[in-house]
Amino acid sequence: MTTLLDTHAWAWWVAEDARLSKRARSAIERARRRGELLVSPISAWEIAKKVEKRQLVLDRPLDAWLVSATTVEGLRLCDLSIPILLESCRLPQPFHGDPADQIIVASALHHGAILVSRDERIRDYPHVRSTW
């Protein structure tokens, strides 16, 4: 099944961080082996913003981190297309106001993907399939 990573899940997976749950890690690896693992370009932007604000410290320069984190075998960057952007503005309410989360959820819906996220606001949203 196609699987889309929320930003923190992507960062933790790349860093082999223990905060990534066993269930999430298993779902990611299954999707990666099948070539069905996606990450949204908005997640690269979120990582860059966190680095800019010094909320995140990477083990290498941001540009190098993004290159290595987006070229993992079995992982693909999904499109940030007009239909996804429009869908992010038409999500059934209630949904919280974080634009990046709206785009990530819309991307999962657009691609028929399960979303790997620890975010309870996303996991409780009944219109997207998620796992953690």
Q: What is the pLDDT along the chain (132 residues), one digit of tens a residue?
A: 999 999 999 999 999 999 999 999 999 999 999 999 999 999 999 999 999 999 999 999 999 999 999 999 999 999 999 999 999 999 999 998 899 999 999 999 999 999 999 999 999 999 999 999
Q: Which of 104, 110, 112, 101 is nearest to 31 (CA)?
A: 112
Reading the block at residue 73, the tokens are 């075998």
Tokens of 84: 């996804």
Give the span between the Cα atoms of 107 and 83, in whole angstroms.
9
CB of 92 closer than 8 Å to CB of 110: no
- Check: pTM over 0.85? Answer yes or no: yes
> Measured over all CA atoms, what is the biggest interatomic distance in the chain, rounded to whole angstroms?
39
What CATH number belongs to 3-131? 3.40.50.1010
